[in-house]
Amino acid sequence: MHTLTAEAQSKITPETAVQLLKKGNLRFLEGIRQKREFATQIAETASGQYPFACILGCIDSRVPIRLIFDQGIGDVFGATVAGNIVNEDILGSLEFGCKIAGAKLVVVLGHTSCGAVKGACDKAELGNLTSLLAKINPAIQNVKEPTDPTQRTSQNSSFVDAVALENIKLTVQNIKTYSNVLRDMEERGAIKIIGAIYNVKNGEVSFLD
């Protein structure tokens, strides 16, 4: 596996960037990792980086974003925050990754059985976590079923995963709404902004579109 160069990055389109991640997740699932010499990749990236994608994931230890896509040094930007939500700093990071550093794709990567989503469903409160979890409330409100409040808690795994899915979609929408830079790039076809969900039971990533 070659370390990405400016020329290699320039040839990647938003569509092929999606394919690179899909193929990487397949390799991860099959246990066939690309052979990489990290010492070589360190040397090759020391003077610059040309990643093809930005991945916004959750901090969850079961979802190591570069491992699950079988990516090496210099391949992808990774931003992680509990519940894969956006704020100004995350948006700024994604804008840097795409506009300045040339990435062709933004992936909002949520996952099943997400602790942040569970906390939001249970209206958990703890220090600075309270305001973070509040950012997941719109996703909870968008999931209409079940209506019984006792079924809308972390105990109901299908509800939790439905909220996680909705939260991914809303985060994609929030990126387009609150980042003029990224919205303009997508409208010009320079990047794509898409969602995906990782299944902690089997390691599989499903892209939402």
Least distance in Å: CB of 58 to Zn ion?
Answer: 3
Determine, following the binding rule CB under 5 A, whether residue 168 of this chain makes contact with Zn ion: no
Least distance in Å: CB of 161 to Zn ion?
Answer: 11
Least distance in Å: CB of 133 to Zn ion?
Answer: 11
Determine, following the binding rule CB under 5 A, whether residue 161 of this chain makes contact with Zn ion: no
Rank residues 6 and 59 by Cβ distance to Zn ion and give the closer one: 59
In the chain, the amino acid numbered 16 is T
Within 29-58, the residues that bind Zn ion by CB under 5 A are 58
Contacts of residue 165, Cβ cutoff 8 Å, sequence gap at least 6: 110, 197, 208
Contact range with Zn ion by CB under 5 A, out of 26-34, 46-54, 108-116, 186-194:
108-116
| Cα atoms found within 13 Å of the Cα of residue 148, Cβ hemisphere only | 4
Least distance in Å: CB of 149 to Zn ion?
Answer: 23
Sign of CA dihedral 175, 176, 181, 183: positive
HEC secondary structure over 72-133:
CCCCEEEEECCCCCCCHHHHHHHHHHHHHCCCCEEEEEEECCCHHHHHHHCCCCCCCHHHHH
Determine, following the binding rule CB under 5 A, whether residue 60 of this chain makes contact with Zn ion: yes
Rank residues 73 and 170 by Cβ distance to Zn ion and give the closer one: 170
Contact range with Zn ion by CB under 5 A, out of 23-31, 36-44, 116-124, 183-191:
116-124
Question: Site for Zn ion (CB under 5 A): how many residues?
Answer: 4
Residues in the chain: 209
Token readout for 1 is: 């596996």
Residues of the shown chain interacting with Zn ion in the complex, contacts defined by CB under 5 A: 58, 60, 114, 116
